[in-house]
Structure 1
């Protein structure tokens, strides 16, 4: 409701400027509306056991390579010693947090929740490279207690597929189903049963494959309305569908204001094209 009130106020101010034939002010107001998402913060927590591929996933959803400046360090041993924020390279209001692996000597399970400030995160992505454990379930129960969203991600699917391809009877879909079922069974064995629980199979090196597009759709659908556009803009252009969604989101904004007055169309089109070009070019997937 608050978002709609803000929209109505900006629209009112644009109309008033146009009635005064002050096209510069109208264009400025429209630009303010287009760039308003920059002021909305989004904090994404990525957690899981050490060695699960957390840091690689953090880099992937920010569109950053491991050797880029500002990338989260990766390795075969636990490299995250504290909750570490990584700003999105193009949208600094979006922060992806690489949380320490639970169950290590430095972060035993019974002390983990004391060391990580869970309240500040918008949602949690729980990573596993094999099966989810009692520690993961413990975290989920705490997240549920805070009434926040969480998502299970089974990582390193590319490794599994590569290994299974060596078998004569390899079937990609059957392999993926087997991995997903194993993860769900593991959660059930740890005492976690929920009809809403879903495990997304992901390769951080090939986000367009497997379940990452489905994860994006789910997050977009379940995020509060005022954070959806922010999330969409920050996600890498991992598929034509995501690029199309970004374009449609901008076109909806443009259409809304372009109907106010023909005199604003030129300024609006110019501003919109600049913002849209930035969103679609600076964050391209390789």
Structure 2
């Protein structure tokens, strides 16, 4: 295996825990102590190593994908300095040091994953997403490639309905695949414009757009205040025994500018740790 150095600190198992917290993720597969992901038709294995990760195979095309996938672009040093002004976040940083939120590499995959998770438990979302991957993706040695936009564009909604999608969600996914919005071009736009273009599409509301900003574009100030998990986490640490409203969570998020995205992920990790 070739070693890929990453900005320190980096806690590999902690950072990739999301891929196995609610079931197996066939496109980001934890197998044999490592993370397996199909990149450009090759199954890539990523494992823990001092100062970074071991990657096999590793070349000039695979390296930037792995870096993005593992959240290497997040500035943890600045965030950790900022966190010292809030005792709750400072405590989470101490316990979860090296946590880097993983980033969805492909915009289409990010949106389909969020659509799958709308209004269902994460365990159910993982199961439905896996059936989609098995049916429309391509299996490598262990992991599957996530279905391409082109593959799902020629599918019929009834095929997804048979995999556990609701009729509406099946239509949303196929409609997104067949649509003409250039998803890659969204990376060059400001947050508000990204949200405006996404929420104009059927099946994509503010919740899905917020997670696209957070977990695909890695925008620093993404703060999914309407997410049930984020609301639970903020209520757990800041609600003083009370379940906070979406508006209250949004207001609390303002104090974490410009690190809302990292703060949300550390709060979610803290909630998962405590439950």
Q: Do the structures match in fold with TM over 0.5? A: no
TM-score under structure 1 normalisation?
Answer: 0.27
TM-score under structure 2 normalisation?
Answer: 0.28
Structure number with greater CO (CA < 8 Å, separation at least 6) is 1
